[in-house]
Homo-oligomer: A and B are copies of this chain.
Amino acid sequence: MEFDLISRIRQRAASRGDVVLGIGDDAALLQPTPGMQLAVSMDTLNSGVHFPETTAPADIGWKALAVNLSDLAAMGASPAWCTLSLSLPSPDAAFVDGFLDGFLALAQQHDVALVGGDTTRGPLSVCVAVHGLVAGGQALRRDGAREGDEVWVTGTLGDAAAALDAMLAGAVSDRALRARLDRPTPRVEAGRALVGLAHACIDVSDGLLADLGHVCSASGVGARIELDALPASPSLARFAAPVRRPWQAGGGDDYELCFTAPPAARDAVAEALEAVAVRASRIGTITAGSGVVAIDAQGKPWQPPRRGFAHFA
């Protein structure tokens, strides 16, 4: 534990009304809202595994919180508090300052209070735990998809994977694509807007096919995806379809929401997402059976040439 670094963090951390005691004691004290359930998620990012070693400290800070907020978004929960454990090879105040620039900018956007954690010596690694609130019984889960549901995805897919592939190939990636890799946008407002409308939801972190596969196995259903329906950003649309499809269908790190909803809710879903200024596309349907099938323009099943970005790959 490095007390100078901790006091540096403590000085910059904002609070909120339900934080009884923040950074500085053995534990934070928090006052949950009566009637609300707590959604808790924790993710670690290791240097060279979850972000390139050349990533700017502010981008590491942003992403470490973003991937966790994305988990809360996928549950339809409102973010409230987070804790941060930062392992650094040496007590590098400049790194911590940069890291906090990104981390706290995103925290402020979503009114998340940083309430505790630690700093330790070790290889560069960031572990964040986030806590959100959601009304009892209202959380979006993976296990609610039903046969006949339509499958939707927010935003666009494949940008982050395209940027990563460019970087791994030693090429300079398009600035817009790289921003999707380094500074993903957690779809917090979209997730909240889908409460009461979506049957199931997940965030796309391992790749669309893999993540939708998790929804299908949790729900005991299958899915059929139309490849041509997968949304692409203007930057990605410049690539020919056979090039960009593996990124869109198999690439991870987009942190969009993939969700299912009954056809009768189609207009309500569109309106709810429009109200929070998030674009969404219908990309397929939930079927009986199991597994995810991707169908090309000729109606033939399509297999990605590589699997989604997997840690431990």
| Chain A interface residues toward B at CB < 8 A | 1-2, 20-21, 24-32, 34, 37-44, 46-47, 49-50, 70-72, 74-75, 77, 81, 83-85, 87, 90-91, 115-123, 125, 127, 129-132, 134, 136, 139, 141-143, 201-203, 206, 218, 310-312
Contacts and interface: CB of A to CB of B under 8 A. Distances in A.
B1 A206 contact: yes
A1 B42 CA distance: 12
Given A1-B206, A2-B311, A40-B30, A75 B25 contact: yes
A1 B312 contact: yes
B27 A87 contact: no
A25 to B, nearest CB: 5
B29 A39 contact: yes
A81 B201 CA distance: 24
Nearest to A191: B26
Given A1-B311, A40-B116, A42-B85, 7 more contacts: A25-B75, A29-B39, A31-B136, A32-B32, A42-B129, A119-B312, A120-B311
A29 B20 CA distance: 22
A198 to B, nearest CB: 13
Given A24-B218, A27-B74, A49 B312 contact: no
Given A1-B311, A125-B122, A311-B2, A28 B21 contact: no
Given A2-B311, A127-B127, A310-B1, A87 B28 contact: no
